[in-house]
Chain A
Amino acid sequence: MPKRVGMEVSIGASEAVRLANVDAIAAYPITPQTHIVEHLSEFVANGELDAEFIPVESEHSAMSVCCGTSAAGARTFTCTSSQGLALMTEIVFIASAMQLPIVMILANRSLSGPLSIWNDHTDVMLVRDCGWIQAFGENGQEIFDLTLAAFKIAEDHRVVLPFMVNMDGFILSHVIEPIEILDQETVDKFLPPFKPVYRLDPDNPVTMGAFAMPDLYTETKKYQDERLKASLPVIEEIWKEYGDLTGRYYHPVETYKAEGAKTLFITMGSFGETASTAVDTMREEGEAVGLCKIRLWRPFPYEAFWNAMKGVENLIVIDRATSYGGPGGPVASEIRSALYTMENPPKVVDFIAGLAGRDVAPGDYKAMYKRAQERIASGDIAGYEIYGVRE
């Protein structure tokens, strides 16, 4: 029986990558991702992981090298944050179009400017449409589990797509938590070595990354879209398999005390933990409130989301990025869009909170709840409100 050990979440994440026996890691240091690459390079230096560690000169090259290693047939991992993701964005989009099953941990951090190293979801929202599978973990154990399962999902021949595990910077990356690390034997049973569909092999030459004229581009995009959507049942299947193995089951959408709730908070990532504490208190105070956590951001799990919305009157979305001048934060905009075809959809109040490490404590959820009630009562629920602005 594996033991729960207290460790920094970044170490836990690195352990998952080590246990996955990755073949290649290419990364460039950026706060708050650094601890992961530091631990991984230590594993390689000590011979605890037989992999090529390629310390590149930029994140753009990190993702480019990953494309090369993955296309060569190597199990490939990288991680980054914020500006690093912004710099590699060009290649992030290409990796999914080329169906290279790279796994990346994104230690979420705000984008400059002003420069800030602290956590929010501005970086991941930049690449919302990049065609990767994108999931969020709420605590260290989830990051460990999601990362291990990510390799299996990404490399599954029904999927063959890159996978991004989102992990809140500092809030998770630099925090010590009890994490249960699986043993190698269990992992090996769950995760066989990477068998690429195509690889760069002189005995079987293939052309990768050909260009498309207008008469074929649309078809390639349709294929890519269908491919990503079709990954949903495989993700659910592999998460179930992982659950059967470890007892920890993951779902695209998860709820907490949603039964009988009139109002649900919607969070992604580590905010789910604080939100649950807030929900506990508010329930004790008699409020019919619960929590809905979106774990899988892409492909967006419509069915699971609609099921979670049944009978719900109000939604309070906690967005952690701004879409300047837009109709809402990125999450609320998607939620409103997803609700459009629902009969009697819940009302959506959107708060942008917790930008660049600004703490959002249980009391803040209570305050947002109160403010949402006021806005719903007044009938003014359009747009978004940036919460907690200092006067």
Chain B
Amino acid sequence: MKNLGNLNVYAVRLLPKTEAIAPGHRACQGCAEVLAVRLVGKALGRDTVVACATGCMEIISSPLPTTSWRVPWIHVAFENAAAVASGVEAGLKVLMRKGRIPKKKINVLAMGGDGGTSDIGLQALSGALERGHNFLYVCYDNEAYMNTGIQRSSSTPFGAATTTSPAGKVKPGQVTWKKNMPEIAVAHNIPYVATACPSYPFDLMEKVKKAAKVDGPAYVHVLSVCPTGWRLPPDLSIRAGRLAVETGIFPLYEVEEGRYKLSVEVPKLRPVEDYLKIQGRFRHLTPDLIEKIQERVTKDYNKLLAKVRFSEEMS
């Protein structure tokens, strides 16, 4: 419980009432991604401009002539949310400087899925992080191209079956390991990077608030359970997110000015099988493949712990 000190909101009734995204959108049942979007919106409040990449969240929220967005929202294309957000940030800044719009703090949020972030949008994101725009990028990672029909991305975990990494007679689904996007963000030496999951809503919102406060770019990587793509009953979305954290598959941590800190400490990791076995995308995995995943997860988790320890020693 020692991390409670990081949180200053504990009760649902204390959550902000403001919503950036209205109900009535077209997301699938049990979509944890749109839940994360909602929580991010609550954390940021109404003085926010959203630049959204093409993908599920764009499609479910903006069919002409309707919109779910209660904050100004712009979608231009798939791979350029970070660039569009760069423009919005620069535009607002210069107009405030020249006195053409009132001076106030406006959060600029860029958002995209794992494909729009770690694959096709990686260059635009890297550029925006390097240029130091004062904006927040949130990657909603559901671990495949769900909007086009569950095709693999570089963020799809090893062993997951997707429509372009099917589990076949000779291949066990995805044969590559998940790209570590938060580490790529850290490598840009930006002030704030964090991982989050809507299964831990207060932690997610705290991180988003913190990210919005820093001067410069911030990156939050949100594991967003997709029941449709993960072949999971919709009522297990939140559970799956918790298991991802409890098994160490998706540790929750933040990197503030280069210093790593675990947000949710798990004294004893659960076996990865607890997480894998509830999802249809992993159902073909054999014990030896599960063991292989277990080894990798343990190794990566220990690597992260070492970084946390190193950060503690340095401070």
Residues of A within 8 A of B (CB): 23-24, 26, 50-52, 54-58, 60-61, 64-74, 76, 90-91, 94, 98, 193, 200-202, 204-213, 216, 220
Contact = CB atoms under 8 A, between A and B. Distances in A.
21 contacts: A23-B98, A24-B87, A50-B97, A52-B91, A57-B126, A58-B127, A61-B83, A61-B124, A61-B127, A65-B84, A69-B94, A72-B88, A73-B95, A91-B77, A200-B49, A200-B74, A201-B101, A202-B46, A208-B75, A212-B64, A213-B64
Contacts of B124: 57-58, 60-61, 64
Most A Cβ at <10 Å: residue of B47, B62, B66, B126: B62
A191 to B, nearest CB: 15
A196 to B, nearest CB: 10
Interface string B54-92: 000011001111110111111111011001111111111
Contacts of A98: 76
B307 interface: no
Shortest beta-carbon contacts, A-B, top 3: A68-B87, A72-B91, A57-B127
Given A23-B95, A68-B85, A210-B67, 9 more contacts: A56-B131, A64-B87, A69-B94, A73-B101, A76-B91, A205-B73, A207-B69, A210-B62, A216-B64
A90 B121 CA distance: 14
A24 B90 contact: yes
A201 B72 contact: yes
Contact of B63 (A52, A68, A201, A213): A213
A206 to B, nearest CB: 6
A66 B77 CA distance: 13
Given A23-B94, A211-B64, A72 B87 contact: yes
A70 B94 CA distance: 12
Most A Cβ at <10 Å: residue of B58, B79, B93, B94: B94
B304 interface: no
A211 B83 contact: no
B93 A209 contact: no
A207 B308 CA distance: 41
B256 interface: no
Q: DSSP class of A's interface residues: helix, strand, loop or mixed?
A: mixed
Contacts of B67: 207, 210
Contacts of B47: 202
A249 to B, nearest CB: 32
A141 B161 CA distance: 61
Nearest to B124: A61
Most A Cβ at <10 Å: residue of B62, B83, B94, B128: B83
B94 A57 contact: no
A220 B87 CA distance: 25
Contacts of A70: 87, 91
Contacts of B64: 210-213, 216, 220
A67 B71 contact: no
Nearest to A23: B94
Given A94-B77, A206-B72, A52 B94 contact: yes
A208 B94 contact: no
Contacts of A55: 131
Nearest to B128: A61
Nearest to B133: A54
A71 B87 contact: yes
B94 A200 contact: no
B169 interface: no
B80 A205 contact: no
Given A67-B84, A69-B88, A207-B62, A51 B74 contact: no
B39 to A, nearest CB: 19
B77 A23 contact: no
Contacts of A212: 63-64
Given A61-B83, A216-B65, A211 B58 contact: yes
